[in-house]
């Protein structure tokens, strides 16, 4: 225990000193992402799926489509529900059990980006108004945690939604009958999240786990395809100056456009 | 169930649904030291928000292995009373409450000298007795006073306020209707003396320019509330002084 | 810890000795209540509310009115449900989490007084028999615990019910439509709970926290407006003699009449 | 589902639905020492109530910090089997079961010399196998025998019985129908040697005079059951003695 | 603690040595069951019940019959649900709280025997197809644990099902009306479970608690009335050779036929 | 929802729904060492099953009093991803998952020299990413490789495979349709070098003769998969060797 704390202090100093000089321990530039790999449709049993590797961080997202009741205040809209599991095989820190605050925050930030950008045309997912609508379950499954779960999860969620199919149906006497064939889920916008960490006064994008342990705080901006901000989340027990916030927003906007190409155009 | 529907969130004269100007805060009432058992406490009304905060600690924490060798553990619970909202809320913590508890804790942590109290816990409880939009911000504002009332040393008071976009205008301190019907909401927590943004979130959509305006406006709101925080602390100090002198 | 136990022993002896002489540490007579303050209607968003201070004990009760299904064995009656939360800001002893036995007992004793006195005319709260009725949620929220939570909570609950309004409605094709305006909740009786503690053979009303720590046992009697007993609850790990039980009942009946005036007439 | 509805709870001849007089107990059968693993156990049938009680302890308790430095911790679980009532009960403890576990524990605590066993726990489990009204009272009666069977030193046996108001009469030991259809139910736990009322609750409404009658009647019922408790203990003692002598 | 471990080691050796010589500490032969007592119908409030004593192991099973919705993929069948509680009065090892893995395994193995043998004619328990069916709740209640809970529970469950009655009814306008009288639950097969433990290379049936603590592994076979296997469960952290598995199956089949007579013919 | 219904599980030519012979395994792909954080990990595809296993430990366990003085505590969680099955599965562990976690742990325990690591815990996590019948068997097969990858000393690899009865034939390695529509399923875990059956369960009905056939067939399947396990381990060993040499 003592040793590991000591090592971590040395490493912490090393990471911070490098960043002060515009460099990173893994050789990246300050605004450079780790290598991104996207695999689509690998869970055939799910209506949509994608696996994103961000360096050694691996996130699998599966989308299931069900039928259920709409919210009473939105009788003509489908329902989107985003859930995340920090599966204990992904990190020695993760534990089995009901989702903790970190997992809930992750799911809610991914949800916010999709919802606020109106990415899914929920109004096209109504089957019988007030009674039956499609429910889109987006399940974020973290398989290996090496930092920046938000960006990897948001990318994987978008990639999975983009290959999600919903079954054809007809309504007969108030019952939903499934018909052969599928059509794609109506995805209208492509929200992308970009996270920056503040370390020793500098901003770096896509922090890996060691940087997350060193950082003062992180901030995530999600952008829609028009370059409008559609979600923000500051995390961590430090702070940003107002000027850092605005600088982070500008960097994030640029990176979001780059990442969107990767995810959407594949 | 009984909620009015507003046709326009900003009227022809530029007034908001509750008659405010675009850059006007709701009426705010703050009181420090309102509960007897807690080590520190405070109460705020901001519009129809009614929020209590209380602090216990630094104190022993169980189980012991959760405490930290080099600083105090700050624990925070943001909780809504079942009767605080239009439709009765189940008392079990919702996912929203769990997320807000986390971001509020992270908004206050940068202010506290946690390293002064290793191996202890500081427990912060925020109870939303009535909710009217902007509860997380008002909750942070009042919580930071409860911490001060408990005598916990802080770098600065944390103060919070939202700005947002409503009926195409960037406005300050959204109320419940504006929050639900408006285009965007940007809550910010701030330490004025340190130019430190300690909480920042956003719902809705904004262009970068609108966002910058909203940030500036929210921080302006924070500075106004900050003065009220200081006044409330001073009032509490004078009350205690009087009490002591009378003994 | 040791110190506090010692102090508590000295204090315990002091409290008990005073009571043996008919006096109390806070200057009250044995059958005297602490100062009672009642604020009504302070939670505008709730259909009813009241805050009661009993000395330094503070309890806030909010009443929400919803619409739901009746119990299957009472298809023509509204539903009353009383819940209590010992909010952790009220005492260093209270913890967040699902309600413990103390909280459940508190809610159930308050519930019993209201229910057994038939305080709320539940039969007037039926909307569509067997399908839709009003549900009255009484939420007891303890904000500062300085003893005798039962009496403070029962008073606050009654005061809150007395200012509760229910919305007007009409039924159209089995759907409930809300109409403008409100009417008061039909409250027919005014149950009042009075708690006594047994300390060193003496009975005292309205024990504060220090007395609760010293007492052998407590007993609560609730009375309806006719002076009939409508709920009893003995608590604590001591006992009462039969004669003490009857004496306690007589004292409680007298005090209940006094308190009722405060709550009902304001 | 299959419950009969009774037109009158007391007939013209003053008899109750099960044929009893107003001051008559239901048939009671008690057995002590019925389970092998428990340190003490007992079984009671009172009307159609069928109830088992078992005691483990004094024994070590986890987590340790819950134990008390100056006496044993008495823990009590009153629990109904899913098949004990008309409509199947979920096995998860209901709010009613949690409340009854508390008041039963507080009814037994005054009898036990807990101070003899500091830093230990005494665990008491009461299982309602079939419920027929008055389970808390019969549960206390049988639990106190299980404690005695476990050799735990007690000031007196605790015995419990209810009285109540049914069809305008004060009657003893209400059964399920009388409990549900009657006007009031007053369960009482009592230690005869100490004139000590250790549990007292009430549902329904009673005038002060009726209440006094009910208390007197319930205590009278307690005294009768107390004799049966003693007989059951004696029978157990003789059985053990015989067993030992035969070895 | 130390003492008890020592004793247990000596006892362990003793139990194993005896078994190696074809004997058991309690005097039984290797394939001999403890004394079995079955009491039927002792819980009058339950639609069916039975108590089985297997030596000092005591299990009470109550069967309740309710009305509810069928599973959506079996709209014309009643629902069987088996639950087990290791009631804490049964053993110092059992704890109150939600069922643990041992309790869940017990319930699922008992369930499997009943279900796979098609013991209950679920298709006769449909009231209104797709809407209302009988639900058969089998609650296994362990009252004293002295080993081999599976066999005792399976026997008690079967005995309880055999005396279960379901009420008569008629359907009127989609509502179920109860009519006077009962008929027996349609029980078509009589599954019996037999458990063997492996101790020092030998197989013994019906292990008691001390043997369970010593055993390497246990295996349960359930047989239907035709002598076909209808459920198997291996438990414990040891293993069986393939030959032992087959031998165990043959012994179990023989014992099952014997036990079935006891349970069915009474 | 989109599941096909099969008229015959075995066609006129004796082929199964996916074209296999009665004694033919589904295609299997195994990879060892696929996750970075875990101490050991492996991945298997068997038919459409896609399963990950990871091992952490031997490591410290909390709470301490759960550890064992004479050996490591093996903990096992078998868990299905919500999207792994036709209809979305709630993430909370089902009774089925709890039972399988137990029998899988008991299938692996006989293989591990737990006594080498007293007072520690070995945590095994099996995640079913996609389920296609036989997940417990494939889960055991891949878990035992993850244990080996973590360097945990074992008596033998545990390998598992089911046989069953489908359309009146005893067949090997049932897929999802065969599992649901067939007459019986007999999953078996086996250590070939020790002739040790470490898991055995059965659903459905079989005569003793059919059972014996199924056991023999399943063990035959185990032996085939065992070879693939060894090959996958060897491939992992060679990859590491290469990596080390290149440094």
Whether the Cβ atoms of residue C155 and residue C52 lie closer than 8 Å to each other: yes
Strand, coil or helix: A110: helix
- Round the average pLDDT of chain F to a whole number and report it: 95
Residue of E45, E67, E141 for testing the chain D interface, max D β-carbons within 10 Å: E45
pLDDT reading at F151 higher than 50: yes
Helix residue ranges, H only, chain F: 95-108, 135-149, 176-181, 208-246
Record the tokens describing residue F25, joined without a space: 């395994």
Q: What is the average per-residue pLDDT within A119-126? A: 97
Is the bond leading into F58 cis (omega within 30 degrees of zero)? yes
pLDDT digits (tens, 9 = 90+) for B48-81: 999 999 999 999 987 777 889 999 999 999 999 9
Helix residue ranges, H only, E66-200: 101-116, 149-162
What pLDDT band is residue E12 in, cutting at 50, 70 and 90? confident
pLDDT score recorded for residue B246? 85
Three state DSSP letters for E44-67: CCCCEEEEEEECCEEEEEEEEEEE
Residue with the two structure tokens 């037109």: D7
pLDDT score recorded for residue F5? 59
**A4: in domain:** no
Domains in chain D with CATH codes = 28-246 (3.30.230.70)
Q: What is the average per-residue pLDDT within F20-37? A: 97
Lowest mean pLDDT among D66-70, E246-250, F40-44, F103-107: D66-70
What pLDDT band is residue A3 in, cutting at 50, 70 and 90? very low
**A2: in domain:** no
Chain F residues with CB-CB distance to E233 below 8 A: 103, 200-201
Query: Which of F95, F106, F208 minimises the CB distance to E229?
Result: F208
**E99: in domain:** yes
Closest-CA residue of chain A to B97: A101
What pLDDT band is residue E265 in, cutting at 50, 70 and 90? confident
Contact yes or no for B37 and C83 at CB 8 A: no
What pLDDT band is residue F6 in, cutting at 50, 70 and 90? low
Closest-CA residue of chain A to F146: A89
Record the tokens describing residue C43, joined without a space: 């939670």
Chain A CB within 8 Å of residue B22 CB: no
pLDDT reading at A8 higher than 80: no
pLDDT score recorded for residue B4? 56
H or E segment to which residue E256 belongs = helix E242-260
CB pairs under 8 A between B and C: 91
Residue numbers in chain B where pLDDT is lower than 70: 1-6
What is the phi/psi pair of residue C234, to 5°? -90, 140
**E190: in domain:** yes
pLDDT score recorded for residue D63? 77
Q: C217-223 and C229-235 as β-strands: parallel, antiparallel, unpaired?
A: antiparallel
pLDDT digits (tens, 9 = 90+) for C113-140: 999 999 999 999 999 999 999 999 999 9
Chain E residues with CB-CB distance to F109 below 8 A: 237
What pLDDT band is residue E233 in, cutting at 50, 70 and 90? very high
- Round the average pLDDT of chain D to a whole number and report it: 95
| Stretch 75-134 of chain E: residues touching chain F, C-beta under 8 Å | 101-102, 104-105, 107-108, 112, 116-117
Contact yes or no for E108 and F95 at CB 8 A: yes
Contact yes or no for B48 and C56 at CB 8 A: no
CA angle B78, B81, B85 (to 5 degrees): 105
* pLDDT per residue of chain C (266 residues) written in tens, 0 to 9: 334 555 677 888 899 899 999 999 999 999 999 999 999 999 999 999 999 999 999 999 999 999 999 999 999 999 999 999 999 999 999 999 999 999 999 999 999 999 999 999 999 999 999 999 999 999 999 999 999 999 999 999 999 999 999 999 999 887 888 899 999 999 999 999 999 999 999 999 999 999 999 999 999 999 999 999 999 999 999 999 999 999 999 999 999 999 999 999 87
CB pairs under 8 A between D and E: 91
Whether the Cβ atoms of residue A84 and residue A106 lie closer than 8 Å to each other: yes
pLDDT digits (tens, 9 = 90+) for D114-154: 999 999 999 999 999 999 999 999 999 999 999 999 999 99
pLDDT reading at F97 higher than 90: yes
Chain B CB within 8 Å of residue A249 CB: yes
Work out the minimum CA distance from D108 to partner chain C, whole angstroms. 8
**E2: in domain:** no
Q: Which domain holds residue C224?
A: 9-265
Contact yes or no for D125 and E64 at CB 8 A: no
How far is it, in rounded angstroms, from Cα C261 to Cα C33?
Answer: 14
Number of domains, chain E: 1
**C76: in domain:** yes
Q: Which of F10, F9, F50 is nearest to F28 (CA)?
A: F50
What pLDDT band is residue F4 in, cutting at 50, 70 and 90? low
Environment class of E88 (CB within 10 Å of its CB; exposed 0-12, middle 13-18, buried 19+):
buried
How far is it, in rounded angstroms, from Cα D130 to Cα E242?
Answer: 46
Q: Do chains B and A touch (3 or more CB pairs under 8 A)?
A: yes
pLDDT reading at E3 higher than 50: no
**C3: in domain:** no
H or E segment to which residue E224 belongs = none
Using the 8-state DSSP alphabet, how is residue F90 labeled? P
| Stretch 204-243 of chain C: residues touching chain D, C-beta under 8 Å | 217, 219, 224, 227-242
What is the DSSP track for C180-204? EEEEE--B----EEEEEEEETTEEE
Strand, coil or helix: D139: helix
pLDDT score recorded for residue D2? 42
CATH number for the domain spanning C231: value is 3.30.230.70
Q: What is the average per-residue pLDDT within A236-264? A: 97
Work out the minimum CA distance from A180 to partner chain B, whole angstroms. 38
Q: Which of E212, E220, E213, E215 is nearest to E198 (CA)?
A: E215
Contact yes or no for A242 and B99 at CB 8 A: no
Cβ within 8 Å of residue C201, ≥6 positions away: C20
pLDDT digits (tens, 9 = 90+) for E112-144: 999 999 999 999 999 999 999 999 999 999 999
pLDDT reading at A1 higher than 70: no
What is the phi/psi pair of residue B89, to 5°? -95, 135
Closest-CA residue of chain D to C254: D208
pLDDT score recorded for residue B6? 67
- Round the average pLDDT of chain E to a whole number and report it: 94
Work out the minimum CA distance from D195 to partner chain C, whole angstroms. 6
What is the DSSP track for B73-128? EEEEEEEE-TTSSSSPPPSSPPHHHHHHHHHHHHHHGGGB-GGGSTT-EEEEEEEE
Contact yes or no for E101 and F186 at CB 8 A: no
Three state DSSP letters for B188-247: EEEEHHHCEEEEEEEEECECHHHHHHHHHHHHHHHHHHHHHHHHHHHHHHHHHHHHHHHC
Closest-CA residue of chain C to B50: C43
Record the tokens describing residue A203, joined without a space: 């901003």
Using the 8-state DSSP alphabet, how is residue C224 labeled? -
pLDDT reading at A82 higher than 70: yes
pLDDT digits (tens, 9 = 90+) for D171-214: 999 999 999 999 999 999 999 999 999 999 999 999 999 999 99
Cβ within 8 Å of residue A10, ≥6 positions away: none
pLDDT digits (tens, 9 = 90+) for E74-86: 999 999 999 999 9
Chain A CB within 8 Å of residue F36 CB: yes
Work out the minimum CA distance from E153 to partner chain D, whole angstroms. 16
How far is it, in rounded angstroms, from Cα D1 to Cα D136?
Answer: 24
pLDDT digits (tens, 9 = 90+) for F57-82: 999 987 777 889 999 999 999 999 99
How far is it, in rounded angstroms, from Cα C224 to Cα D207?
Answer: 10
Whether the Cβ atoms of residue F49 and residue F128 lie closer than 8 Å to each other: yes
Contact yes or no for E43 and D130 at CB 8 A: yes
Q: Which of C186, C165, C206 is nearest to C46 (CA)?
A: C165
Query: Which of E83, E92, E146 minimises the CB distance to D91?
Result: E83
Whether the Cβ atoms of residue B125 and residue B53 lie closer than 8 Å to each other: yes
CB pairs under 8 A between C and D: 89
What pLDDT band is residue D5 in, cutting at 50, 70 and 90? low
pTM value is: 0.96
What pLDDT band is residue A2 in, cutting at 50, 70 and 90? very low
pLDDT reading at F236 higher than 80: yes
Whether the Cβ atoms of residue C140 and residue C106 lie closer than 8 Å to each other: yes
Whether the Cβ atoms of residue E235 and residue E108 lie closer than 8 Å to each other: no
How far apart are the two ends of chain E, measured CA to CA in Å? 44
Using the 8-state DSSP alphabet, how is residue F193 labeled? G
């Amino acid at each position: 225990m003592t040793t590991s704390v000591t090592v971590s202090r040395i490493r912490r100093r090393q990471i911070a000193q490098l960043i002060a000089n515009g460099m990173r321990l893994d050789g990246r530039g300050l605004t450079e992402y780790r290598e991104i790999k996207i695999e689509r449709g690998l869970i055939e049993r799910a209506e949509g799926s994608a696996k994103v590797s961000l360096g050694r961080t691996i996130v699998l997202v599966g989308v299931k489509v069900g039928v259920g009741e709409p919210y009473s205040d939105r009788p003509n809209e489908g329902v989107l529900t985003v859930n995340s599991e920090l599966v204990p095989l992904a990190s020695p820190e993760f534990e089995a059990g009901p989702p903790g605050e970190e997992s809930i925050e992750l799911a809610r930030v991914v949800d916010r980006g999709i919802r606020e950008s109106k990415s899914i045309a929920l109004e096209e997912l109504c089957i019988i108004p007030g009674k039956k609508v499609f429910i889109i379950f987006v399940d974020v499954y973290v398989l290996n945690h090496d930092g920046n779960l938000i960006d990897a999860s948001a990318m994987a969620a978008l990639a999975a939604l983009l290959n999600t199919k919903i079954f054809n149906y007809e309504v007969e006497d108030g019952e939903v009958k499934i018909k052969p064939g599928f059509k794609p889920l109506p995805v209208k916008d492509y929200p992308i999240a970009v996270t920056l960490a503040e370390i020793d006064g500098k901003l770096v994008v896509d922090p890996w786990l060691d940087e997350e342990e060193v950082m003062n705080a992180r901030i995530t901006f999600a952008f829609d395809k028009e370059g409008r901000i559609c979600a923000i989340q500051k995390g961590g027990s430090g702070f940003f100056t107002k000027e850092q916030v605005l600088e982070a927003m500008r960097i994030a906007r640029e990176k979001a456009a780059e990442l969107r190409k990767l995810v959407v155009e594949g | 169930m009984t909620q009015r529907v507003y046709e326009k969130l900003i009227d022809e004269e530029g007034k908001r649904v509750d008659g405010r100007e675009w850059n006007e805060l709701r009426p705010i009432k703050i009181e420090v030291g309102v509960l007897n058992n807690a080590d520190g406490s405070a109460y705020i009304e901001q519009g129809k928000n009614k929020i209590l905060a209380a602090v216990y600690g630094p104190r022993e924490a169980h189980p012991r292995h959760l405490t930290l060798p080099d600083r105090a553990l700050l624990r925070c619970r943001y909780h809504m009373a079942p009767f605080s909202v239009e439709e009765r809320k189940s008392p079990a913590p919702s996912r929203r409450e769990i997320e807000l508890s986390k971001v509020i804790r992270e908004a206050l942590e940068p202010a506290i000298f946690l390293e002064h109290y290793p191996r202890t816990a500081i427990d912060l409880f925020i109870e939303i007795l009535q909710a009217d939009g902007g509860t997380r911000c008002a909750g942070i504002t009042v919580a930071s006073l409860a911490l001060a009332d408990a005598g916990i040393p802080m770098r600065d008071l944390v103060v919070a306020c939202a700005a947002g976009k409503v009926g195409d205008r960037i406005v300050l301190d959204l109320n419940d209707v504006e929050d639900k019907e408006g285009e965007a909401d940007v809550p910010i927590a701030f330490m004025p003396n340190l130019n430190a943004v300690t909480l920042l979130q956003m719902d809705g959509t904004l262009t970068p320019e609108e966002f910058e305006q909203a940030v500036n406006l929210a921080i302006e709101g924070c500075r106004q509330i900050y003065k009220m925080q200081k006044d409330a602390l001073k009032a509490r100090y004078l009350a205690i002084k009087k009490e002591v002198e009378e003994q």
